[in-house]
Structure 1
Amino acid sequence: MSLPYFESVSPGSGTVPPRSWYATSSAASLSLNGSWRFRLSPTAEAEDDSFARPGYDASGWGEITVPGHWVLQGDGAHGSPAYTNVNYPFPVDPPRVPTENPTGDHLRVFDLPDTWPADGESVIRFEGVESCAKVWLNGTELGDFKGSRLPHEFSVGGLLQEHDNVLAVRVHQWSSGSYLEDQDQWWLPGIFREVSLLHRPDGAAADFRVHASYDHRDGLGTLRVETTTPAARVSVPELGLDLASGEPATVPVQPWTAETPRLYDGEIRTAAGETIPFRAGFRTVALEDGLIKVNGTPVLFRGVNRHEFHPEHGRAVGLDTMRRDLLLMKRHNVNAVRTSHYPPHPAFLDLCDELGLWVIDECDLETHGFVFDDWRRNPVDDERWTPALLDRARRMVERDKNHPSVLLWSLGNECGTGAGLTAMARWIRDRDPSRLVHYEGDPSCADTDVYSRMYPPHDEVETIGRYEDEGPAKRRQLPFILCEYGHAMGNGPGGLADYQRLFEAHDRLQGGFVWEWIDHGLNHPGYGFGYGGDFGEELHDGNFVCDGLLFPDRTPSPGLVEYKKVIEPVRIHGDGNGDSSADTVRVTNGHDFTDLTHLAFTWSYEVDGESVATGPLTVPPLAPGQSAEVKLPAPPADARGSEAAWTVRAELAEDTAWAPAGHLVAWGQLTAAPRAVTAAATGAAPVRDRDTITLGPAVFDARTGALRSLGPIQVPADGEPRLDVWRAPTDNDDGAPWQPDARYGLLWREAGLHRVRHRRDQVALDDGALVVRSRVAPAASQLGLATEYRWTADDSGRLTLSVTVTPEGDWRIPLPRLGIRFGIPSTYGETATWFGGGPGEAYPDTRAAARLGRWQSPVDALQTPYVRPQENGARADVRWAELTGPDGGGLRITGEPEFWFTARRWTTEQLDAAGHGTDLVPGDTVWVNLDHAQHGIGSQSCGPGPLPQYRLEAAPATFSFTFSALGRIGH
């Protein structure tokens, strides 16, 4: 049976050979973006091709914007987006696709500009169409193509007319190409990148290639630009070069690196009169001594995986958004991007060249859904599909070959193994031996230059770093990277600092790429941002599509703030011995190429979280890898306080292309004077009457021992302070079924920790204290926590609660949290001020970015708006916290020892039940958690769980909090 073109395994027909992309040329061009006529059909063959003929009346059609996806336009009239991670959203029967195959017919009528040349050739170029397209111009069929994230061009010179040119494009949502594009993202059909008409003068260069190597031993760069027309000339005025096509020249240059992205502007001039600007970055990539080296130096990737995404436009991402992404990356110390899992818009690589990022350029290829059938019928192991695979490799390499930022070509992602991948690797190496080849999915590393893994646990990474891993002999000689790690889904990822310590300790470990850059939450009329299942999909993977370091609106998440601190390229450490007369700080340059002359260092001396003195700090111009002990000044003579610390900052000394002078690159803190122990409130005697017990400023229920008021603050009936061990499980708590670590979120719920009961055993007055003894335990279980609350007070208005917890039973799981929860009227809790870690949230394994200081925030702003609500908002190492209302009345809490502080205007149970942020409705009570300890976060939504040192094991604990009312509230 002959298959239609959209089900053929052929990559297409009629296109011209792929070539390099460039942003501008002196040749004529015409953008065909904008409003197109559009008709959607339910099947591929519901309509004939008469719409492509001149004169066809499409006045009854709707309109759609190109670039764009039709499912994101038309207010639902054009279908809906759908999200799956691994599963194909159609029956797996390659290369066949369902009869129900939404098909969009697009029409664009255009005139040629009056200045359009009459000679030469013209091509119509499509930068990206999902997933298969057939194209006509003025009724003549040009051909068809697949390869959604790759460019395709058709010659049209003989078909153009001055007026009323009819460009017709039929786009099928499903095609044989869909089997090669199972890439953990929304399925979004349409013409989502630019369409343009380009003039190609007679004698023009059909293609060109810039070779710009660098010899680090003598500082010389060699430039050679090959063009397909020998009559071309190549000039680089800054270097004094004017060369023939293919002619090499070796001159002194400044090299290109991600830290110093030095580019030289050049121009190609052809005999046809066309000029094509280009930019040369001189650098050499090599695999030497078992390491990836650039210009003779090993590099450490501080990277991210980046899908192209916009919450309104899907993969139709504009230049401003691309630049915004890269500025955010640079400002958060990210130095590398893996273009998961397809080549990005070509302009993105121009920006990487300009701003400075290492790039792993990944082919538009993933066949992950075949894993469920043990990779049976996998296209990459079926020779009939090899031409399509090679076509995708060629289009990527030819388009992107002139970018100095691209260090490695990646064959694709999660495709299993097969001869098709080997054919791709051989072709790429033959075409471009100046770069390395990457692929993660083949443990033999037969076709790759780097050993790459996803989400291995820390201990395995350390074993690999020590060259103690088992496996093929070739693999043990290769450098190692984590092409995916630190799964940034919801609250997290945890454990990044522990990975980074391994990277910096072992040369073989050349860093990694956090998964991923941005949450793919699409705008939704009811939920704000929607995820899988919110658009009526019958098969979906829920919020697994929201696993980024940015929220969908590109607001940095706490995970990105943490990552910035973890990967900062300057290390600032002190001994923290508290001997301020002899304090020094150790500064280490972690850059690969640059010294520290581009940074300005300052010190700040802080007492009780507030700066009392600042000044510049002279740091030697350390070369990469060098360290120095730098003397700090004497602390201010009049500085007094219970706790003091030095904060040293490294900031940009001058404006750069990616951030202004003063931008914070790195920081460190060391103790100058340690915190004094906070004494409990004692001395006031409890007084009992029939219904109440009065203790200092507080009133308790005499029968239950429940706190009812503290000074003017009335405690809500259900808001008494009592032990709390439950948190709304994070995505990482719930974990992934394929990971071997225990999925504690599920185990906590199975154990009933979300529904514990509080049995009151005794209320007694004992030696000047009110003592309440209780047992906290879930139903259907012998597990319990024997809890003693000991209340004391003094005559100055302070009230202290000391809590002693003793586990009972055979606890085989850690606790989510351990502390107390209580509620206060929201009129007392609009603003939070605290002395501790901040300004953002932190947890035991996500606390590197928590800087000790005095911070203030509206209570509502303490919440982190994860797309799927979950535990969030804790502040670490808190010494004291205040909750206040508009007139300053409120509550002060001091902890011994330091504690984790959380406040929100809904309960943990309400947070746990919410599917979207719109489900959370603020109430009249502010619910406060004061935690002695929290369980770690980990990365188990796709990676490993928290390391042992971050697990909150059930063990005896004692902690205390002292409360005092602030001001008064009027009535």
Structure 2
Amino acid sequence: MECERLTPGSGRLEPRAALSSDAPSLDLNGAWRFRLSPVATVPEDFADPRYDDAAWAELPVPAHWPLHGHGAPAYTNVSYPFPVDPPHVPTENPTGDYRRAFDLPEGWNGGRLRFDGVESYAKVWLNGHELGFTTGSRLPAEFDAGPWLKPGRNVLAVRVHQWSAASYLEDQDMWWLPGIFRDVTLTRSAADVFVHASYEDGRGTLSFDGTGALDLPELGVTGLRPGERVTVAAEPWSAGTPRLYEAVLRAPGETVRLRVGFRTVAIEDGVLLANGRPLLLKGVNRHEFHPLSGRAVTYATMREDVLLMKRHNVNAVRTSHYPPHPAFLDLCDELGLWVIDECDLETHGFGQVGWRNNPSDDPRWEEACLDRMRRMVERDKNHPSVIMWSLGNEAGVGRNLGVMAEWARERDPSRPLHYEGDRSCEHTDVYSRMYASHAEVEAIGRGAEDPLDDPELDARRRAMPFLQCEYAHAMGNGPGGLAEYQELFERYPRLAGGFVWEWIDHGLAHPSLGYAYGGDYGEPVHDGNFVVDGLVFPDRTPSPGLLDLKKVFEPVAFTFSGTSVTVRSKDAFHDLSSLSFSGQVEAEGEPVASFPLEVPAGGGEVKLPALPAGEGERWLTVRAVLARDEPWADAGHEVAWAQVPIDVPYPGREDLRVSPRRTFPPAVREAPAKASAGRPGREAPVPLDGGEIQVGGAVFDPVTGRLTRLFGLDADGPRLELWRAPIDNDRYSGAEFRWRLLGLHRLTHRVDAVEPGDTLTVRTRTAPAATDLGIRATWTWTASGDALDLRVDLVPEGDWTEPIPRLGLALTLPAAPGPVTWYGLGPGEAYPDTGLATRIGRWAATVEEMQTPYVHPQENGHRAAVRWAELAGVRITGDPVFGLTARPWSTAALDAAAHRPDLVPDGRLHLTLDLAQHGIGTAACGPGTLPAYELHARPATFRLRFEPS
């Protein structure tokens, strides 16, 4: 089949920059006639302008045809969905034929047909004349239309094959979605320009390659000719201060407008520099995606992405794993993001066959690989936001990568080259890795990484800056360990930061499933929900992971000491002059004082006013907000904050420090039990008719020792709970398998004794079947006026070698309207190594609002360090704190659910009151939970108080 040829295209014009020109253009987007065939070998008679397409369907362009009822999407991460037999593809090759009639404006002559993105192979005809074909799905292609245009009606015909030889270069962990998914334009613009705008020693240097003359009026530049160089008093461009200058290129037959940013990227002594200053990338990986339209994204969607990134302290984006729509880079220039622009190349699936016949190392594919690099660089070369070119992603190693690198260095020596897949870094300027552990990142930061076998390559690599092009896999509940990574990035100058994987969950909108993932369309080969691994949900609602990332990426640092706070900027390119600062004191979650803080632009130590004293916990929160409107957020937008206890009624407050992980200081977490002085006298258990036992306002079953009524409410529990509905990190790391093998999801509960006396004592043993492991629990219930005190003493038995998911108590009550109110960390969920965005306060939410809507249901919604909570007419108080999860369905129902609509409220309020939970980590792809956040079965004591609210 002709779509199996290795040549990347024919009939195409030379690649050039994406430019804004006053030359006439005709937008050919809109409704096209469309026909889908199951095979590629269909007659080409439809290209005849006289062909009758009245029976064809209509399909919007840009769009993917599987999202409009023609075929179905398919998702794979690594595996090719067809046999690995390059360059051959299946005979069953969905083929879409497109037709578009348009009228040429009067006086029009000449012009180019421009396709900005077609997946994966497109053959083009104009008025019956074949113009050529193109591959490289995420790259533009232009054809000379001039000889075949005619006055009046013209007919454009395009044949698109889903599978082609080029598909072997596009195995990029995403939905396979064919079609014309970016803009189609007829333009009379032919200009090309390469502007060079560097910045050094407080001055800008400007020159350009191309034809015509360049004006930059704001800096007094007029009539600059190609090859001429001028020095100007320019302000530098950076992500924090994206200063742009409007330039005009007067080219033959047209005028081009472009925005120029002066900046220089360099590497010195193993440190990545921008404008002479160390550059720390606080980045995310971004696929183009929308739940309704796939990779056919609108300008509004692109702008929303950039604004969300900026508002969450993200300063960099890697365009994984292909060049984005050119308008996205315009937005990065305008609003300020550092960009690694990645070539449309990935051959990951060859790794499953031992990298045999990998195109990256096959001379037959050299032209195709180089073609993709050239088209990216030429299109995007004028963007100041683009600071590195990436050769591609997960394409193994080989000679063709060297060819691409050699060409790119010659064409554009101003930008370093990136590629992760070759540990030797033979063709790159930075050392890049994916998912390196914290320990390995620290070793690299110190220059103590394991050496390469080749001493010369090893010495070269050790002189490079290091970045994690992917880390902190944000799949489902997570990622954990963010603060620890960021601390390393900030500690070692060699570490240039990294890019969290990834920006958005790729859940496709589905009428019955909510959002679909791999396998939901009947694909025989798929990778399930691995495509749902983003910091924002498919509708672009920020996940808890993005909120945590915002906290970790804060550009301001606060350090408290005695009666002052020291404030400093963590942005090498930006001082604090754009921010205003304030403080607020809360007592038991209620505001008692607030005040402004006068912080110099350069930062420094700021004296705090006298803080009001009083009873109960008192916390000081300081905030940094935008002092004025910015292009990406309004004045008052919170940029950074910190919180410190000033009057916590626990010992050890002289050692209190602000932790980047937002955990409690040791004095709070390890506080001894509170004294019971001042509480009403205790009441002994009372036998009731039928044998039930009453302790204060609670009634217990005399056989099981479990609650049956609590303050008049129908209750069931509590029982010891060691299980949680596995998160994605549990599933993909193997932890879920080990926990299920151990039987933690099907515990048995044995009652050894129910002992009424001055108190009610219940002795139980909780254990998984088929093991000799168990946990003995002594439950001591004490009535105290209207309150009910519970002490649970836990003693593990056997050799518990594996961490356990949770240690908590499960209790159900009747579902009740009204909010849950609590005092502790909030407003969102928090786990041992997440929840950095949460802060101590008094919070309220409905039970529905307390559920985090992960596309693939899993453990979620845990509120941490809760002092007290009120819900369903009951107040629960920790001694000193507990973890709270409140759900309208059981853990078993959550465990069994595959999609959100599977979860249906059952009329009960399911509470889990946790002593501890296992950490989150990022082991769905990357390192597991750090040892400090592992939960192991050890002796423990848990105290709670229940009383009517």
Fold equivalence (TM over 0.5): yes
What are structure 1's unaligned runs of at least 5 residues?
576-581, 737-742, 885-889, 967-971
Equivalent position of 1:579 in the other structure:
none
Equivalent position of 2:904 in the other structure:
921
1:264-303 matches, cutoff 5 A: 264-272=245-253, 274-303=254-283
Equivalent position of 1:762 in the other structure:
753
- Structure 1, residues 515-539: CA drift from partner, whole Å, max 9, x if none? 0000000011110100000011011
What one-letter code is carried by the residue in structure 1 that aligns with 2:150? Q
What one-letter code is carried by the residue in structure 2 that aligns with 1:93? D
Deviation at 1:583, TM superposition (A): 2.7
Partners of 1:786 and 1:830 in 2: how far apart? 36
1:389-400 matches, cutoff 5 A: 389-400=369-380
CA contact (8 A) 2:820 2:845 kept: yes
Equivalent position of 2:647 in the other structure:
673
SS of equivalent residue, structure 1 residue 813: coil
Equivalent position of 2:913 in the other structure:
930
What one-letter code is carried by the residue in structure 1 that aligns with 2:621? T
Equivalent position of 2:614 in the other structure:
640
Partners of 1:271 and 1:155 in 2: how far apart? 18
Deviation at 1:962, TM superposition (A): 0.4
Deviation at 1:702, TM superposition (A): 2.4
Partners of 1:703 and 1:210 in 2: how far apart? 83
TM-score after normalising by structure 1: 0.93
CA contact (8 A) 2:309 2:315 kept: yes
Partners of 1:98 and 1:714 in 2: how far apart? 62
Counterpart among 151, 160, 167 of residue 162 in structure 1:
151
Partners of 2:731 and 2:191 in 1: how far apart? 54
What one-letter code is carried by the residue in structure 2 that aligns with 1:721? P
Counterpart among 718, 729, 733 of residue 732 in structure 1:
729
- Is 1:512 aligned to residue 498 of structure 2? yes
Partners of 2:732 and 2:402 in 1: how far apart? 34
Partners of 1:390 and 1:704 in 2: how far apart? 73
- Structure 1, residues 653-711: CA drift from partner, whole Å, max 9, x if none? 11101000100000000111014564456612222245122212212222322112222
CA contact (8 A) 1:549 1:559 kept: yes
SS of equivalent residue, structure 2 residue 483: helix
SS of equivalent residue, structure 1 residue 351: helix
Equivalent position of 2:695 in the other structure:
695
CA contact (8 A) 2:345 2:395 kept: yes
1:614-625 matches, cutoff 5 A: 614-622=594-602
Deviation at 1:965, TM superposition (A): 1.4
Equivalent position of 1:790 in the other structure:
780
Counterpart among 73, 90, 99 of residue 98 in structure 1:
90
Deviation at 1:567, TM superposition (A): 1.2
- Is 1:630 aligned to residue 630 of structure 2? no
What one-letter code is carried by the residue in structure 2 that aligns with 1:60? A
CA contact (8 A) 1:609 1:852 kept: yes
Deviation at 1:110, TM superposition (A): 0.3
Deviation at 1:831, TM superposition (A): 1.4
SS of equivalent residue, structure 1 residue 182: coil
Equivalent position of 1:849 in the other structure:
837
Equivalent position of 1:810 in the other structure:
799
Counterpart among 822, 842, 859 of residue 811 in structure 2:
822
Deviation at 1:550, TM superposition (A): 0.5
Counterpart among 743, 761, 769 of residue 779 in structure 1:
769
Equivalent position of 2:196 in the other structure:
211
1:217-236 matches, cutoff 5 A: 217=201, 219-227=202-210, 229=211, 232-236=212-216
Partners of 2:794 and 2:293 in 1: how far apart? 52
RMSD, aligned CA: 1.2
Deviation at 1:244, TM superposition (A): 3.1
Equivalent position of 1:113 in the other structure:
105
Counterpart among 508, 512, 536 of residue 526 in structure 1:
512
- Structure 1, residues 283-319: CA drift from partner, whole Å, max 9, x if none? 0111112111111011001000000000000000000
Partners of 2:559 and 2:320 in 1: how far apart? 35
Partners of 1:411 and 1:280 in 2: how far apart? 25
What one-letter code is carried by the residue in structure 2 that aligns with 1:593? F
What are structure 2's unaligned runs of at least 5 residues?
452-457, 651-672
Deviation at 1:487, TM superposition (A): 0.3
Partners of 1:757 and 1:250 in 2: how far apart? 78
SS of equivalent residue, structure 2 residue 159: strand
- Structure 1, residues 764-799: CA drift from partner, whole Å, max 9, x if none? 024x2100000000110111000111101212x111
1:557-576 matches, cutoff 5 A: 557-574=543-560
SS of equivalent residue, structure 2 residue 835: coil
Partners of 2:764 and 2:606 in 1: how far apart? 54
Equivalent position of 1:440 in the other structure:
420
SS of equivalent residue, structure 2 residue 157: strand
Equivalent position of 1:41 in the other structure:
37
Query: Percent same amino acid among aligned pairs?
Result: 59
Equivalent position of 1:686 in the other structure:
685
Counterpart among 564, 570, 589 of residue 590 in structure 1:
570
Equivalent position of 1:178 in the other structure:
167
Counterpart among 852, 867, 870 of residue 858 in structure 2:
870
Counterpart among 22, 25, 28 of residue 21 in structure 2:
25
What one-letter code is carried by the residue in structure 2 that aligns with 1:186? W
1:879-918 matches, cutoff 5 A: 879-884=867-872, 890-918=873-901
What one-letter code is carried by the residue in structure 2 that aligns with 1:703? V
SS of equivalent residue, structure 2 residue 444: helix
SS of equivalent residue, structure 2 residue 576: coil
SS of equivalent residue, structure 1 residue 473: helix
Deviation at 1:734, TM superposition (A): 1.7
CA contact (8 A) 1:712 1:965 kept: no
Partners of 1:288 and 1:703 in 2: how far apart? 74
Equivalent position of 2:473 in the other structure:
487
What one-letter code is carried by the residue in structure 1 that aligns with 2:517? Y
Counterpart among 336, 342, 345 of residue 362 in structure 1:
342
Partners of 2:724 and 2:325 in 1: how far apart? 41
Deviation at 1:275, TM superposition (A): 1.0
Equivalent position of 2:654 in the other structure:
none
CA contact (8 A) 2:270 2:462 kept: no
Deviation at 1:233, TM superposition (A): 2.0
Equivalent position of 2:60 in the other structure:
65
SS of equivalent residue, structure 1 residue 550: coil
Counterpart among 432, 453, 464 of residue 444 in structure 2:
464
What one-letter code is carried by the residue in structure 2 that aligns with 1:610? E
Partners of 1:611 and 1:308 in 2: how far apart? 43
Equivalent position of 2:2 in the other structure:
5
CA contact (8 A) 1:573 1:669 kept: no
- Structure 1, residues 452-496: CA drift from partner, whole Å, max 9, x if none? 000011111111111111222211111100000000001001101
Partners of 2:864 and 2:223 in 1: how far apart? 62
Deviation at 1:271, TM superposition (A): 4.2
CA contact (8 A) 1:574 1:669 kept: no
What one-letter code is carried by the residue in structure 2 that aligns with 1:266? A
Deviation at 1:117, TM superposition (A): 3.1
CA 1:271–1:107 in 2, change beyond 3 Å: closer, same or farther? Answer: closer
CA contact (8 A) 1:678 1:895 kept: no
What one-letter code is carried by the residue in structure 1 that aligns with 2:196? H
CA contact (8 A) 1:31 1:197 kept: yes
Equivalent position of 2:11 in the other structure:
14
- Structure 1, residues 340-387: CA drift from partner, whole Å, max 9, x if none? 000000000000000000000000000000001110000010001000
CA contact (8 A) 2:39 2:95 kept: yes
Partners of 2:558 and 2:445 in 1: how far apart? 24
- Structure 1, residues 381-433: CA drift from partner, whole Å, max 9, x if none? 00010000010000000000000000000000001100000000000000000
Counterpart among 321, 325, 344 of residue 345 in structure 1:
325
- Is 1:89 aligned to residue 81 of structure 2? yes
1:257-336 matches, cutoff 5 A: 257-272=238-253, 274-336=254-316
CA contact (8 A) 1:713 1:965 kept: no
Partners of 1:468 and 1:321 in 2: how far apart? 43
